[in-house]
Structure 1
């Protein structure tokens, strides 16, 4: 149920009325926020520089209408499908007598370890005729439903079972309890996961290009390759950015100001699982079919082409691609953590309107597709900082802009949970504030730093669009090499890159899964 303000857990004393934040911290956070808004500034500058008179015929033309229909249908149909699979899967493994629940819990999250464009490659090589909206929905839903499954699983694990038992004692059946008691408490998880999925659908390029399904992102890449960020690409970017910002506003409005939480510690015992009874066999069959479609088909295609590859592993570019992928992903992860630290510290230790505004800029920037970020950095580096054009620094900066929230969220949570009293004790012993934080608080943040870095590294290793546009000449990553070989229909040569991408993704996905279960058990 929605808790009223009087029933919410009291905030830490002095959280909103303590000493003002250090000027240096605010200055650093403001400077970082300004940099994060460069992609949004690029969209505005396109409208101003090109002029509405030039943009209007480029926006209001049949091709844009076709792309708009494809993209909107993809979101309108794809997001509910991912919510259905994600919430349904989470409910089955957490609240029912599903046989081998731990096994199915892992199977349901496994697709996150397979990049969407690798999954599309698997389906395209298995069924060459797959294409269009139906193909795009199939690939996207199978690749992205775990983004709803993980928060839903964590939310369900954190629910107080006493509420459900009280509803049953009033005569409600299992379905009525789920619909009237459980589902409303999953609202934030569903909205958050659905927003992430929708933004991924708008930003995805490789998965849809493989199956010949045109969206704004695929069209922008084609325009960029032919006109180098000309007015047509800018017009498409304006429309795509408007769609993303509309989704962001809609999700915030749907979320509202309601909070869903236990009052007090709640019941420490586990919920009594609901018996599936005669539904056991159909449910197991459905889960098996989902596992085959989301995991087995892509992996089977990888294994099949691997067996035909012969000397695919002897490609001279393979070691370089692996090395550069690890270095760029590690650089992006480290940079994102360093950028997120002051923003997270300001938000957690000095909450207020300014902190919320600066934190919000990171989410606005990250909500824009990678292609918009890449076009913005191309434009800025060519016009203002030509020495940074197509350098590793620009690639890492793009990773920070795209994946910053992945580092910000766990860091903010870790800083909020670190006791301020320990720092005050260290300062009372004569340690300066900075030394006290480094010696006392920083060790407590190691798990949060590791989680944030792993999540950013996972995204950076699999990122394709921005890397293709921004990487220095001669740079090879696993994602770009995979794309190069697969685009040339040399599937056996693409297999080693796909397999290494999957292997690199497994540790980060495992960490996400364990963190979700740990958070939900609190």
Structure 2
């Protein structure tokens, strides 16, 4: 039953890949090669790979550095800084891009894209690293100190290996989301495969060329997944008990306190202050600014309803996939879990087209219904839930299941009474991450939403793409406000946030 449920989720997640593959077969290898062997494709490949690697590296370094400063030093106001460093999650990447571009049209190209994406996505690394640092037993470091290791060597040989699952999971999410990022990169005029696919579909209607580029995106996604699988290995990260209920002694910063405090403040200003200033500026001074209450309310209600439904469905779909991957390890469970990541690298328009074709051919009655749109959300954002729920299940020791079985409880009763309560924080964090993603999703919503349905993201994009920055500002502000509760849930002290404690057995 569990295998059937996991396989069903994997099949649904692979629908976009099947659509791309069938289109490629229809094109033929000769024509496909002619479409790919062009200088434009080489440029897009260089842009996409360069930006992805640069942003993954930057968010990893920035996320780990900020997490260590907040959790392991005597930085003044650490609790306040933690909240401010998580807050950029409430600001969608395309809203961040809008904020910078609307202030200075000269912010574009690789430099602008690198800065905006890094400032938007670093919390995906920062949050899981913070969660793991909070629960890491300080006795590990104390033992290293007693052996004469310096702080630098202890961090490199003891702490950093413990952070590897959180760091890899966060970096993987950054890379996958960047491969499919459209709004921010379009505003910043930095061409990647995703923006080029939209150009092909939207302006020239060249489905063959767009699908050929989607094939390259799928290949890049597979490279990321294989690299993550290779680096992650098969180590288990669970233990019974949490060890001593104490925290590590904060490192005194001394003369570095003010410079590092200024650095953290600078990150907050760039990631949070600039978008806030830009939104307020356009709300007050924009010539196109207006507050259509009826339209704003309608878009807000639709956004909340779709995001809540999508978050619940996606998180529930992640449970059997993760259960197989963690509790029943093997080639089949690995294939099922990795299958859920592929569509995340495809632009929403490709996923939307795949579901349009599949629904019209197989189940016409679901075409242009909210159910089909929620299915698209589940396909697009399943990795967020899978990464998060897996983190929680990995820290739930298998021995507790064995004890439950020895007391006469069956698998379902054990899952309900023992395992699910242990991973409840991870389920909540996963649902929050998916909610954040759905509330800001743009292109699949434009293609699949029922007639007359509009969301905050689609209304914002309609105004900002016409350079009506003032008209877009109210929708952007509501997008930020809608995202705040989910962001608060993620920054709770005991929340695993995206990957929680996983200490090697």
After TM superposition, the structure 1 stretch with the greater mean CA deviation from structure 2, 434-443 or 371-380, is 434-443
What are the equivalent positions in structure 2 for 1:237-252 lying under 5 Å apart?
A: 237-252=214-229
> Which residue of 2 is the match for residue 468 of structure 1?
446
Q: Distance in 2 between matches of 1:163 and 1:410?
A: 25
Q: Distance in 2 between matches of 1:493 and 1:350?
A: 52
CA contact (8 A) 2:19 2:354 kept: yes
> Which residue of 1 is the match for residue 310 of structure 2?
332
CA contact (8 A) 1:159 1:262 kept: no
After TM superposition, the structure 1 stretch with the greater mean CA deviation from structure 2, 251-260 or 409-418, is 409-418
Name the SS for the 1:489 alignment partner: coil
Query: 1:424-472 deviations in whole A, cap 9, x for unaligned?
Result: 69978xxx98789778887777655544333322211111122123223
Choose which of 56, 79, 88 in structure 2 pairs with 1:102: 79
> Which residue of 2 is the match for residue 10 of structure 1?
none
Q: Distance in 2 between matches of 1:289 and 1:225?
A: 39
Q: Distance in 2 between matches of 1:142 and 1:129?
A: 18
Does residue 201 of the first structure (1) align with residue 181 of the second (2)? no
Does residue 516 of the first structure (1) align with residue 502 of the second (2)? no
CA contact (8 A) 1:245 1:367 kept: no
Q: How far did 1:267 drift?
A: 4.0
What are the equivalent positions in structure 2 for 1:150-299 lying under 5 Å apart?
A: 150-228=127-205, 230-259=207-236, 265-299=242-276
Q: How has the CA–CA distance of structure 1 residues 350 and 85 changed in structure 2, closer, same or farther, with 3 Å as cutoff? A: closer
After TM superposition, the structure 1 stretch with the greater mean CA deviation from structure 2, 457-466 or 253-262, is 253-262
Name the SS for the 1:312 alignment partner: coil
Q: Distance in 1 between matches of 2:460 and 2:105?
A: 18
What are the equivalent positions in structure 2 for 1:442-521 lying under 5 Å apart?
A: 449-514=427-492, 515-516=495-496, 519-520=500-501
Does residue 31 of the first structure (1) align with residue 8 of the second (2)? yes
Query: 1:134-162 deviations in whole A, cap 9, x for unaligned?
Result: 00001000000111111111222232323
> Which residue of 2 is the match for residue 7 of structure 1?
none
Q: Distance in 2 between matches of 1:314 and 1:54?
A: 49
Choose which of 71, 77, 84 in structure 1 pairs with 2:61: 84
| Higher-Rg member (1/2) | 1
Name the SS for the 1:134 alignment partner: helix
CA contact (8 A) 2:166 2:500 kept: no
CA contact (8 A) 2:197 2:214 kept: yes
CA contact (8 A) 1:217 1:371 kept: no
Does residue 392 of the first structure (1) align with residue 370 of the second (2)? yes
Q: How has the CA–CA distance of structure 1 residues 60 and 481 changed in structure 2, closer, same or farther, with 3 Å as cutoff? A: same
CA contact (8 A) 2:401 2:418 kept: no
CA contact (8 A) 2:88 2:120 kept: yes
Q: How has the CA–CA distance of structure 1 residues 146 and 236 changed in structure 2, closer, same or farther, with 3 Å as cutoff? A: same
Q: How far did 1:422 drift?
A: 9.6
Choose which of 297, 302, 310 in structure 2 pairs with 1:319: 297
> Which residue of 1 is the match for residue 115 of structure 2?
138
> Which residue of 2 is the match for residue 61 of structure 1?
38
Q: Distance in 2 between matches of 1:26 and 1:181?
A: 37
> Which residue of 2 is the match for residue 360 of structure 1?
338
Choose which of 367, 373, 397 in structure 1 pairs with 2:351: 373
Taking only aligned residues, the RMSD between alpha carbons, in angstroms, comes to: 3.1
Q: How has the CA–CA distance of structure 1 residues 425 and 175 changed in structure 2, closer, same or farther, with 3 Å as cutoff? A: closer
Q: How has the CA–CA distance of structure 1 residues 122 and 166 changed in structure 2, closer, same or farther, with 3 Å as cutoff? A: same
Q: How far did 1:40 drift?
A: 1.7
Query: 1:463-493 deviations in whole A, cap 9, x for unaligned?
Result: 1122123223332110010010111111111
Q: How has the CA–CA distance of structure 1 residues 363 and 230 changed in structure 2, closer, same or farther, with 3 Å as cutoff? A: closer
> Which residue of 2 is the match for residue 18 of structure 1?
none
Query: 1:284-314 deviations in whole A, cap 9, x for unaligned?
Result: 1111111110000001100111113586222
Structure 1 gaps of 5+ residues are 1-23
Query: 1:297-333 deviations in whole A, cap 9, x for unaligned?
Result: 0011001111135862225421211111112112212
> Which residue of 2 is the match for residue 405 of structure 1?
383
Structure 2 gaps of 5+ residues are none
Q: Distance in 1 between matches of 2:420 and 2:57?
A: 40
CA contact (8 A) 1:157 1:521 kept: no
Q: Distance in 2 between matches of 1:445 and 1:271?
A: 25
CA contact (8 A) 2:74 2:253 kept: yes
Does residue 305 of the first structure (1) align with residue 305 of the second (2)? no
CA contact (8 A) 2:373 2:449 kept: yes
Choose which of 69, 93, 96 in structure 2 pairs with 1:119: 96
Q: How has the CA–CA distance of structure 1 residues 305 and 186 changed in structure 2, closer, same or farther, with 3 Å as cutoff? A: same
Query: 1:2-34 deviations in whole A, cap 9, x for unaligned?
Result: xxxxxxxxxxxxxxxxxxxxxx44334323322
Name the SS for the 1:186 alignment partner: helix
Name the SS for the 1:98 alignment partner: coil
CA contact (8 A) 1:154 1:516 kept: yes
Q: How far did 1:126 drift?
A: 1.5
Name the SS for the 1:130 alignment partner: coil
Query: 1:85-108 deviations in whole A, cap 9, x for unaligned?
Result: 100000101111111111111121
After TM superposition, the structure 1 stretch with the greater mean CA deviation from structure 2, 348-357 or 214-223, is 348-357
